Chain A
C-alpha cells in the first residue's frame, strides 16, 4: 500500500518578513498504483506543497493532515518521513561538494534499510540506475549534483528514486529545464518505478509535455494554494489548449 492522503492542509512559508500563508486547504487522495499530476500556474503553491509534505524547515504546516499508509507525516522529522517511504524529487537539487553520489546513496540506503547494501552488488546497482536515466557510471564518483547540468541533476534525482525505491514519490517540476529527449528518458524512469506494485507518484508540473509520456491517472489543477478542479488526462489536454486563465479568473 502506498496511499498518500492530504486533508485540509494549510501551510505557510517562513520569510524574513514573517510567515506567509501559501497552502489554503489542500485535499488530495493519491492511491497506490496511480500516477497523479498536479498542474498549476507559477506562484500557485505547488512547490510549497512538495516541501510541506517532505518537512522542509522553512515551511510550517498550520493545520490539516498528510498521511502515507495511515502514518501522519506532518508530525515526523524529515528523516522519519523518508523512512516512512516518502521521496521528494526536487526542482533544484542541492550540490554537496566533496560527497560522492555513490557514498551518499550508500549512506542513505543503509539508513533506510537498517543494513549496509552488499559491497559486491552495490556498484552494479548504482551503475544500472544511472544508465537507466542516461547517465554514465562516472557520475557515481562525482560530488552530489556538483557541476551537473540542469538535465543531469533531474536524471540523477530519478536514479536516486530507483536506488532508494520508496513507496511514494513526490516529484517537483522534474521536467523543467529538460530537452525533449531528456523528458522522455526521465518519464520512462518514472514509469518503471510506478510499474512496481504498491507504488504511488505525485508529479508536480507546470507543463503538459511530461504527461504525454507518463499518462497520469488523475490530474489536479492547483490554483492559489488549493486544488480547484480534478479530472483525467483530458484535463491536461484542456490546460495545454487553453492555459490556466479560466481557473485563475474563476476563483476571484
Chain B
C-alpha cells in the first residue's frame, strides 16, 4: 500500500495550479486527500503528479450572506459543520455534514473536494444538487460557474475539465417557509450509507408548494425527485420516490432492501422536513 511514484506541486495561486494541470494531463488535484490518498496507496489511482491546493491563500473561507453559503475549496468539513451562520442560513448543511464519515476525516476532508469527487455514496454532492447550488471553477479560459444539475456526469465523474480547479461551492439559503431534514442508514456509525435521503420543502401559509428529495447511495449521480404533487395528492412519498429510482445491490444491501429503505426514509424525512418548515415559520 505505497503509492506509485508521482511528482508533487504546491502552487501559490489558482492560476499556477491551472497551469500545472494544463501542462500534465495525468496530474490530479489534492485538497484534503481523504479520498485520493487511499486510492493512491492502493494504486487504484496512479497520477503522474499531484497539484496540492494547500498552499493557496484564501481558499479556505466560508462566506455567508442572505443568498446562501459559499464554501471555499480548502474549507474542511469540520469547519463548515461548526459554522453557526452557515447552519442558520442553510440548515441542511449541518444536518448532512454530521453524517460525513468520522470526525478525524472531517478534520481533513474538504466539502468542495467531496462535491467534485462525485462519489454516489457521499452526502454533499446530493445536498448541492438538491439545493440547486453551483460550483465555481477556474481554468485556462477563465472562470465559470457550473450549476449542480450540470455538474455530475457519472460515478466519480464531473463536468469539470481536467485543467479546471473548483474554487468554491455555493449552497443557496433556505427560503422563507422552507424546511429541511436528512436521514441515512449505514451499516456502522460513520460509514457510507446504504441509503440516505435529504429533503427540502417549502410552505406558503398552510400550503405545501415544494417538496423535493435527494438520495445518497441510490443512483450513479445525485438524483432529485420532485414529490410536490405526490404530497399534495396525499400519496405515499416513499412509493412516489421509488417510482423514479432503481436502487442496486452491493455487498451490504440487496436492491430490494435499498428500495425498502428509500421508501421508509423518504416517508420519515418528508414528514420531518414538513415539521421543520412548520416549526421555523412558528419561530419567525
A pairs with B: no
A residues at B contact (CB < 8 Å): none
